Structure formats: structure tokens, C-alpha cells
A and B are shown apart, each in its own frame.
Chain A
Amino acid sequence: MTAIELVFYLFSTVLTLSALAVITVRNAVYAALFLVLAFFSSAAIWMLLEVEFLAITLVLVYVGAVMVLFLFVVMMLDMNSERVREGFARYLPVGILVALIMAGELMFVIWTKGAEKLPLPPGQSDAGANTALLGERLYTAYLYPFEIAAVILLVGIVAAIALTHTGRNPNTRYQDPSRQVSTRREDRVRIVSMPGAGSKSAEERS
């Protein structure tokens, strides 16, 4: 067994086990953390395929941003593990169906293309100038699908904000920082000269 195979089997074992753990552990925070581990191991496997840009982007986007927000929400929820259990049995048939379709697709690819390593896409050298190649493909051959996907994402963002944003509550008090920083002493403090007990005035004393 070569070192690369060893690394592959190590990460694929971790990936499979952690993916299983995501749906079996009781604690929701543990489940989210196992999902992070699953993303990370699959990124490592992609790295073995020399698709460094996709591998690093998987870590950057899913591990570094999406799952952090996920974890954020999960931690603040008061999760009832019993109710989560109920859902498990209800969604099991759908889950098995999806799993079967996925397994069938994988099997189809292996049967038709052969189990050997598939050739590298045209233009990619073994040195792995993967990032430049990917960029070139996306912005030339696949420009329209790429731009359309971007627009759909933008619509998604706008829709999410439009659905949740209820407008400013008139009772909310808020501060205007630009007004705050431009205040001067004269706006807030009035120095009054008080003739009285002491012989000195307030200004002389300070």
C-alpha cells in the first residue's frame, strides 16, 4: 500500500464514520461538529485528486462560513432530542430512496467508465494549475451558466432579506454614529460660574 492510498483510506474511513455520526448522535451540537469533520475529510480526499482549488474552497466556504453559522443557531436552540428522534423514522424511507439513487448513479459511472483512474480533463497538467484552468473554463466556455447561477443566488439573498425584514420598528431607539462623533464639548457641557462658599470661581479651580 502506498502512502497516498493509506491517506485515502484514512480520510474515507473518517468521512464515512463522521457522516454516519451526523445522523445518529443525540446531541445536535455534536452532529454539527461531525458534519464539519465530514466536510474536512472530503476536502482532504479532493486534495488527493489534485483539485486544490475546489478542496480549499470547500473548507473555506462550508467549514469556514456555512457551518459556523449553522453551529451558531444550533447552540442557541434548546433542542429536544426526543422530537428529533421521531422525525428520524418518518424521513427514513425518503432517505433510503435518495441513498439508493446516489449509489445507483455511482455504480453506473464505475460500470460504464471503468474503475481505473479517469484521464485528466484537457488542459490540466499534472503540476496542478487547477485554479487558473477552472477560472478560464468558467469565464469562457461556461460564462452564461455561471452568470445565471450568480443571478439566482443574488435573487435568493434578496428574497431571504425581503421575507424576514419587517421594516424598522418605530419604537426602536438607535444612535447615529456620525452625529455622535461630531459632538463637541460645547453641545454637552455648560460651565457655570457659581459665586458662593469659596472665593474662587469654578473656572479658576479647574
Chain B
Amino acid sequence: MDMQTLQTLLWTLAKIFIIIIPITLTVAYYTYAERKVIGYMQSRIGPNRVGPWGLLQPFADVFKLLFKEIILPANANKFLFYLAPVLTLGPALAAWAVVPFSDWLILADINASLLYVLALTSMGVYGIIVAGWASNSKYAFLGALRSAAQIISYEIAMGFALVCVLIAAGDISLKGIVEAQQGGVFDWFWLPLLPMFMVYFISGVAETNRAPFDVAEGESEIVAGFHVEYAGAAFAVFFLAEYANMILISALTALLFAGGWLSPFENVPVLGGTLLATHGIGWFLAKTVFFMFFFLWFRATFPRYRYDQIMRLGWKVLIPITIVWVVVAAVLVLTGAIVRGS
């Protein structure tokens, strides 16, 4: 291996750290934001003891989890039990490799990046299944089965929603999809693909096992689902993966349906040339945070779905809508209602 290769490897490694460390910090403060936002929505004040306004609470939680003992249940499969959290976290972080933060801030600008994201997010389910099986616990196993069935079902609706985006953009790379949405807030795909936008986000909430689709955790029936036997750092890794996935879904929604790093005021006459009309990473982050807020809002608002109704919604409502809209999207492109990169 020559010097050049080594240098490329080290440089790539540095870039990976530049992406992963902010994500980890965002996860930490996302949990804080979740407790604060839901707190205020329920007329409480949320965490306020550790640090000013409770701002150091995430770190207190992290240290508590790291210092706790990892308990291995009796007759659990030791190797798979420890492997499962890694299997969940790996894909959740690896998917970020192809996320374009702006038109040049991408770790790996590959052609089929949307497919890559879809393939990796579909692998996250292994961590859950393996965790449920290796724990040697009925609650964990039931939670894993529920979760896996739900993820597989909603992946179909999600995949078809993405097919509509591909038809509209005529490109399979995330960067190309964003560039196809140029022209201001009404040229973004949320408007022509409005039903797909909603289907995608609902499927995203279901894929991440969040409220109101969090039957995989269902406290009142199966305690905490697939990770009921996990404690300490192993539990923290599951937690990290779940929140990293939520942020990923928000970021993808921003990229696919809300123009990514594009400014919403692009073609507004008065603002032309000002800071508001320039594209950049700031817009992408703002849109991602906007969608992240919805996850918290949903959790504070909706009661949990019954399990059979989750399946009914996925298979009998969302999938037929997406299949119809694949045809509609093709017609919209043919008639010129969707203009790519005006």
C-alpha cells in the first residue's frame, strides 16, 4: 500500500469523524429537546437541574449509562447479544456517508446514493431481530417480531414513495434530486408529490418505531420490547441508533421533498442577491430540524396505534396510494407539470 492510498484513507477517516461527532452531539441534544418540548406541550418544564436550564442533562444521562453494568441474561447467546447493538448502530451511521449537506459537502458522492440509503436502512432491522432472539426473553422476542414486521411492511410504502421521487427528478443520486428541485419553495417536490411526502414521513416514523407506531416498545404489554434485557452502554447504543435514524429520516425528507440546501426565496424578486436567497448548509440544517420537531410533536399528540391498525394502515392504505401516485407522477412529468431544475 503506497503513501497516496494511506493519505486518502486517513483523510476519509477524518471526514467520517467530522460527520459522526456532530451527529452524536445532535442525538444527545435531541433527547434533551424531546424532554423539553414534550414537557412544555404537557405543561411541565422538563429537565432543569443539571447545568443552566438543564443543558447538561444529556451528558449526565450518558455518564450514567456508561457506568452502569451490562447485564447478560441467563442462557442468552453471548456473541449475538453483544453484536446486536453494533448491527443497529452501524447502518444508522453508515447511511450518512452519502447525505449531501450542501452542493459540495458530501463524503461519498456516488451515483446510486438513494438506493444505498434504502439498502442500509433496511439492514437496521437485523440488530433488532438478533437482539430479540439472543436475549432469550419472551418480551424481547415479541418486541423484535413486532418491530421487524412493522419495518418490512412500511419499507414497501417508503420504497414506492421514493420511486415517485426518482420519476420526478429523473436522477438516482441525492445531489441530483436536490438539483432537480431548483426554483423556489413551490418547485420543491413536496407540492407535486404531496401524498408521497406524507406517506414517506409517516413510513419514516413507523420505520424508526416512534410514537404513534411504537408498539415494538409497548410499555403496557411487552415492557420495552426488543431491548428490555439491555442495560448500560449496550442500551445506550440502541438509543443512539434510534435517534440517529430519526435524524436521518428528517434529513432525507428535507433532501427529497423540501429542496435540501436550496433557499426557499430563490426567485423572489425583492430578496434576490441577499443572504436569504443564497443556497447553503444552513437551509438544509434548518429544514432537518423542522422535520425532527415533528417526531416530538407526534409523540406528545397521538395515542399509540393498535397493532392490527398499524398493519392495515401500511398495507391497505399507504401502499395503494403510493402505487397510484407512481402513475400520476409519470403523467405529471410527461405533461410538464414537474419541471426538472428550472
Contact = CB atoms under 8 A, between A and B. Distances in A.
Interface of A: 1-3, 6, 29, 33, 36, 52-53, 56-57, 59-60, 63-65, 68-69, 71-72, 75-76, 128-131, 177
A174 to B, nearest CB: 9
Counting from the closest, the 10 A-B pairs by CB-CB distance are A64-B122, A60-B119, A59-B119, A56-B115, A3-B5, A56-B119, A52-B112, A75-B133, A131-B112, A131-B172
B229 to A, nearest CB: 16
A46 to B, nearest CB: 12
Interface in B102-132: 110-112, 115-116, 118-120, 122-123, 125-126, 129-130
A59 B111 contact: no
B324 interface: no
Given A6-B1, A64-B155, A68-B152, A33 B111 contact: no
Contacts of B126: 36, 68, 71
A60 B122 contact: yes
Contact residues on B (Cβ < 8 Å of other chain), bracket: 20 to 34
B321 interface: no
B155 A65 contact: yes
A63 B123 contact: yes
A1 B1 CA distance: 7
A64 B123 contact: yes
B126 to A, nearest CB: 7
B309 interface: yes
A72 B152 CA distance: 11
Given A3-B1, A3-B5, A72-B129, A63 B122 contact: yes
Interface string B131-155: 0010000000100010011001001
B148 A72 contact: yes
A114 B111 CA distance: 31
Given A56-B116, A65-B155, A69-B152, 19 more contacts: A3-B1, A29-B133, A36-B126, A52-B110, A52-B112, A56-B119, A59-B119, A60-B122, A64-B119, A64-B123, A68-B125, A68-B148, A72-B145, A72-B148, A72-B149, A75-B129, A75-B141, A128-B111, A177-B309
Given A6-B1, A52-B110, A131-B172, A60 B115 contact: yes
Interface in B137-193: 141, 145, 148-149, 152, 155, 172
B129 A53 contact: no
Nearest to B128: A68
B68 interface: no
B312 interface: yes
28 contacts: A2-B5, A3-B5, A52-B110, A52-B111, A52-B112, A53-B115, A56-B115, A56-B116, A59-B120, A59-B122, A60-B115, A60-B118, A60-B122, A63-B119, A63-B122, A63-B123, A64-B155, A65-B152, A68-B126, A68-B148, A71-B126, A72-B145, A75-B129, A75-B141, A129-B111, A130-B111, A131-B111, A131-B112
A47 to B, nearest CB: 10
Contacts of B129: 68, 71-72, 75
Interface in B29-77: none
Contacts of B172: 131
B39 to A, nearest CB: 30
A25 to B, nearest CB: 12
Nearest to A180: B309
Contact of B130 (A3, A33, A64, A76): A33
A75 B133 CA distance: 7
A2 B4 CA distance: 11
A1 B152 CA distance: 41
A53 B113 CA distance: 10
Contact of A56 (B80, B112, B155): B112
Contacts of B118: 60, 64
B130 A57 contact: no
A53 B112 contact: yes
B97 to A, nearest CB: 13
Contacts of A3: 1, 5
A59 B123 contact: yes
A75 B126 CA distance: 13
A36 B87 CA distance: 12
